[in-house]
Each structure stands twice: as structure tokens, then as C-alpha cells.
Structure 1
Amino acid sequence: MRKRIAVFSDIHGNLSALQAMYQDSIKQHAEEYWFIGDLLMPGPSVEAIWDIFQKMNPTVVVRGNWDDLVVRGARGMMDMERPSHIYFARLAQYVAEHVSPTVINTIASWPLHVTKRVGALNFGVSHNLPWLNMGQALFPTQETANFDKLFNIAGEPVDVAIYAHVHHDLLRYASDERVILNPGAVGEPFNHWQPLQRDLRAHYLMLEVDETGLAETSFRHVSYNREREKEIAAQSDVPYKELYQKMMVTGRAYTHDDELLTKYNKQFNYADEYRNYAKKINS
């Protein structure tokens, strides 16, 4: 047997990147798709991304931390305590206004962790840790003991762990030499080393598994038109569109820039907009 699997994550609402990644995966003869979390926000595209996602029909799906934010925000459950909370809430409101409640409920139903046997190997798949889809415990420079936790699950032992979340493609080993993979980010790859940060292509992972094991592990970096993505944002009513367009130039996220977010929140009255939305849907 031979199975070719496209493993992808962290779209973050970037339609142009997802389209490029999907077309490349077809050229790479992908037979199956595994999605490792964070589909929407802060990018402007919602319905179009959901349509492509349905075409891919992933056989493995796990829920990322931004997927949780989409659900909580769309259901009017976000607080306004910090500038970033307003940012998440208002973006989730935008998502809810562009898809049916069925989509939100589907995202809410995604599990945190999945095990999947392919040929001779058992894969464990999670957005971050198997029980926690947030935090920096698995940032690439963390100690090996943190990565060993990817294998601390009940049931049949996992041979290969796959996670996402940190927006870095990665192949490394646990302390017992089991394999750990990260596909990187389709929508926004990150790297603090500037010469590497310049590679803002759509990152994903192609696996080929045969009866012996991993026959191929290919980290794909696919070019796409970031100016086109900026124009999609310009033509939309997505909140914080200027920050998203800036991301298309710098590759940097502004999620936790409290000063900058406070400026936008006050200028556009985003907190009150979300409070009114939450009051309306929960009344």
C-alpha cells in the first residue's frame, strides 16, 4: 500500500494561500487531507475557505485555539477585558455573520486529538498538546521533555506525532526517538530569524506512507500572490483590515500588540459593536 497525505494547518482566513496550497497538493497527487486546526480569522475569507475545505474533505480534523475563539465569539461568549479579547470577539462576529450556525457547530464538534493508523504506523494528531490547543510548550526551541508529552495518551502507542500551532515546519525526535512533525502554517509562517522570516509562502507537509513506514516527508512551500490577498481584504468588511494587509507585507501578527489594538478598538468602536451583537443573539 501507498498513501499520499497532505497535512495542513493555520489557514487563518488566508484564501489565496489556501488556494495555492490546495492546487499544489493536487499536483503532488494527494489522496487524503489532514487538517491540524485554525481555519479562520483574522483574514477576510470565510465562505470561500469553507467551500475549499469541504472539497478537500479531510479525513482527520482537530480543533485549534483560534477555532475555539471562532466558536466562543460567534456564540457571544467573549469578554472585553483585554484589547486582544476585543480583537478576537469582533473577528468572530464577522465570521458568524458570513456563515450559517451549522458551520460554527461543526467547528465546535472537532476533537482536540485524533489517532489514525496508516499502514504500519500509528499517528497521533493534535493542534498543540493532545489535551491543550494553546500555549508555547511546543515552540520549536523548547526542551525535548515537552515534546515527549505528545505521546502521553491512552490506547495504542503512537509512532509519529503531528502538531501545528507554532507556525514553524519541523521534524524532530522525542527522547525515545519517535518522530514529531509540524506542517508549518499555510496562512502565516513565522520565524524570528529575519532571513528565514522572508519566506512567507504557504507551508504544508506531504507525507507518503507505505507498508514499511514513512516513504516521503516533504515540506512544501508554495508561492501565492500576497497583493491579491491584500486586495481581497480591501474589498471586504473584515474588521482590522489594515492590520491584516500589514501582515501580508511583514509576515508579523499583531494579536498581542495592546497599544495598536486599543487604537483600532477605540477608532471603530469594536467593543460596543460586539456587545450589541452578543446581546442580540443571546436575548
Structure 2
Amino acid sequence: MSKRIAVFSDVHGNLHALQAMYADSLRHSVDEYWFIGDLLMPGPGVMEIWRLIKKMQPSVMVRGNWDDLTVKGVRGQMDLEKPSRIYFARLAQYVGEHVSAAVIDEIASWPLHVQKQAGKLTFGISHNLPTLNMGQALFPTNPVEHFDQLFENFDQQDVAIYAHVHHSLMRYASDERLILNPGSVGEPFNGWWPLQHDTRAHYLILEVDDDGIAELDYRHVPYDRESEYELAVESDIPYLELYKRTLETGRVNTHDQELLDQINRKWDYLAEYQAYAKRVKKRS
């Protein structure tokens, strides 16, 4: 008996991309959903995305690094020593102003690593490494030894699935166990421009039957970027100009400290977050 699983990650607040991915998964008769982390920020989608996730009812939910940033920032606990940290904090403030504490508590409860049985195969699922959801150890061009870490202490796992690097991927560990990455729904990335130009919503349909993996379908789904940008404008999200650039090109400025510092100063985002954090701490 076969099962079709939609594996998806890195939505990053892009509501229209997630809606398009979900509609495509229904057209392809998906039975189950596995979510591999980074749900919110920097896009405008918050409660709409949360409601859609609840409708999907993923049987796997793992916590990404941006999920951790969301939780920490919403709770007023973000350190602010660098412009990029102010960026994360102010984005999290936006999330905190649109969701309940119960939503944030649920995100905080997601595990870093899950083992899932499908057919005869055991899948190890994590946003990045099984015990570390950040860093560039698993960037697609790295040596195979980096990817072997996905199986360390998990001898029984046949397949590893990770996300984080926003690249669709299929490769092998040194012992030829399989490694998959679904790519990013909301922020696909590639350093080679002709490939970067494809910023459709990327995800993976994994079909498993009694013999193993019957099919891997890496889906690239078009969505309405103009409507997504209009939603961002209407929602008055912080860093609107950066989100517009991401929608147009796929490029991000997450670690451009000089540019982020200029924007933070222009809009006084540090003071806004400090005032927000003070209010949060008073309530707790």
C-alpha cells in the first residue's frame, strides 16, 4: 500500500506561497504532511498561516532556527547587540502582536528531531542537524562528511530529511543512505542566477510503498506575488522594502549588518522593540 507525503519547510510568513503549495498538494492526492521548520517571519502571514497549518494537521512538526527566533523575540528575550538581532526582534514583535501566547508555546514545544516510519523505511527528520537547527554545515556544496552527521547516533535510520538551506536536494551519505531536502516554500534560494530566478513555492511529494520510495516529485508551484506584496503593505509589516526585494528576486538581507543598521535607525526599530519587550515582561 502506498502513501503520498507532502514534505515542506521554510514558509517564512509567505501566505500566498503556502496556499498555492497546499492547493497543489490536494490536486496530487497527498495523504499526509511533514513540516520541517521555519514557519513565520519575515512575511505578513501569521494567523492565516497558523490556521492553514492546523487544517493540514501535519503528522511531523520540527522546530527551525527562525521558529526559535520567533519564540524568543515574542517573549521579549531577544539580545540586541547586532543589527540583525534587532531585525529578528522587530519581526518577532510583529508576530507577537498578531498571535496568542498559546500559539508561541506550541511552536516552542516542537522537537528538533523526529523519527518517522513509512512503509519499511525509517526517516530521520530535522530542520538542520538533529541537535542543531542553525548553521551552514549542510549547505549543498559541502563535503559528504558533513552530511554523515545526519545519521550519527541513528544507526536505524534509512533516510534523513532536512531543510534550512532553501535548496531542493537529493544526495547520499558515505554509506549510501539517502538524504532529501524539499527546498523552501517561501524563500527558494540558489547562488546561480538562472536557477535563482525560479522563486515559485518549492516542496516535495514523497511516495512510499511496500518496497520503499516509489517516487520523489520536487514540485515548483507558482503563486500570486503581487497579492502577497499587497498583503504585506496592508499589514504594515516591518522591513517592507526588504520583503519586496525578496519577493522579486529571492535574495535576502538577513546578515547585511550595514543595511539593516540603516533601516533600523530610519524606523527606530530598536526603541520599538525595547518598548514592546518591556510591556511583555510586565505582563509576565
Q: Give the shorter-chain TM-score range.
A: over 0.9
Which residue of structure 2 lines up, in the alignment, with residue 145 of structure 1? 145
Alignment of 1:221 onto 2:224: no
- Describe the SS at the equivalent of 2:188: coil
Alignment of 1:136 onto 2:127: no
Kindly state the Cα deviation for residue 246 of structure 1 after the two structures are TM-superposed.
1.4
AA at the equivalent of 1:198: H
- Give the % identical residues: 65
Which residue of structure 1 lines up, in the alignment, with residue 40 of structure 2? 40
1:1-283 matches, within 5 Å, as 1-154=1-154, 157-283=156-282
Task: Give per-residue Cα distances to partners, 1:115-160, cap 9 Å, x unaligned.
Answer: 0011100000000000000000000000000101101134x61000
Kindly state the Cα deviation for residue 63 of structure 1 after the two structures are TM-superposed.
0.2
Alignment partners' CA distance in 2, 1:231 and 1:245: 10
Given that 1:130 and 1:153 are in contact with CA atoms closer than 8 Å, whether structure 2 keeps it comes out as no
Alignment partners' CA distance in 2, 1:153 and 1:126: 14
AA at the equivalent of 2:242: L
Alignment partners' CA distance in 1, 2:110 and 2:68: 10
Unaligned runs of at least 5 residues, structure 1: none
Given that 1:7 and 1:36 are in contact with CA atoms closer than 8 Å, whether structure 2 keeps it comes out as yes
- Describe the SS at the equivalent of 1:235: helix
- Describe the SS at the equivalent of 1:122: strand
Deviates more, 1:97-106 or 1:227-236: 227-236
Kindly state the Cα deviation for residue 110 of structure 1 after the two structures are TM-superposed.
0.2
Unaligned runs of at least 5 residues, structure 2: none
AA at the equivalent of 1:77: Q
Alignment partners' CA distance in 1, 2:253 and 2:51: 27
Given that 1:94 and 1:238 are in contact with CA atoms closer than 8 Å, whether structure 2 keeps it comes out as yes
Task: Give per-residue Cα distances to partners, 1:167-207, cap 9 Å, x unaligned.
Answer: 00000000010000000000010000010000000000001
AA at the equivalent of 1:150: L
Alignment partners' CA distance in 1, 2:235 and 2:276: 19
Alignment partners' CA distance in 2, 1:32 and 1:115: 15
Task: Give per-residue Cα distances to partners, 1:87-114, cap 9 Å, x unaligned.
Answer: 0000001101100000000000000000
AA at the equivalent of 1:257: D
Given that 1:7 and 1:207 are in contact with CA atoms closer than 8 Å, whether structure 2 keeps it comes out as yes
Alignment partners' CA distance in 1, 2:246 and 2:26: 27
AA at the equivalent of 1:194: W
TM-score, length basis structure 1: 0.98
Task: Give per-residue Cα distances to partners, 1:54-76, cap 9 Å, x unaligned.
Answer: 00000011000000000000010
AA at the equivalent of 2:281: N
- Describe the SS at the equivalent of 1:171: strand
Kindly state the Cα deviation for residue 37 of structure 1 after the two structures are TM-superposed.
0.2
Given that 1:129 and 1:163 are in contact with CA atoms closer than 8 Å, whether structure 2 keeps it comes out as yes
- Describe the SS at the equivalent of 2:235: coil
- Describe the SS at the equivalent of 1:214: strand
Kindly state the Cα deviation for residue 260 of structure 1 after the two structures are TM-superposed.
1.3
Given that 1:138 and 1:146 are in contact with CA atoms closer than 8 Å, whether structure 2 keeps it comes out as yes
Alignment partners' CA distance in 2, 1:123 and 1:30: 18
Deviant stretches of 4+, over 2 Å: none
Alignment partners' CA distance in 1, 2:64 and 2:80: 21
Alignment partners' CA distance in 2, 1:117 and 1:258: 43
AA at the equivalent of 2:167: H
Given that 1:207 and 1:218 are in contact with CA atoms closer than 8 Å, whether structure 2 keeps it comes out as yes
- Describe the SS at the equivalent of 1:39: coil
Alignment partners' CA distance in 2, 1:224 and 1:281: 36
- Describe the SS at the equivalent of 1:217: strand
Kindly state the Cα deviation for residue 250 of structure 1 after the two structures are TM-superposed.
1.5
Kindly state the Cα deviation for residue 237 of structure 1 after the two structures are TM-superposed.
1.8
- Describe the SS at the equivalent of 1:170: strand
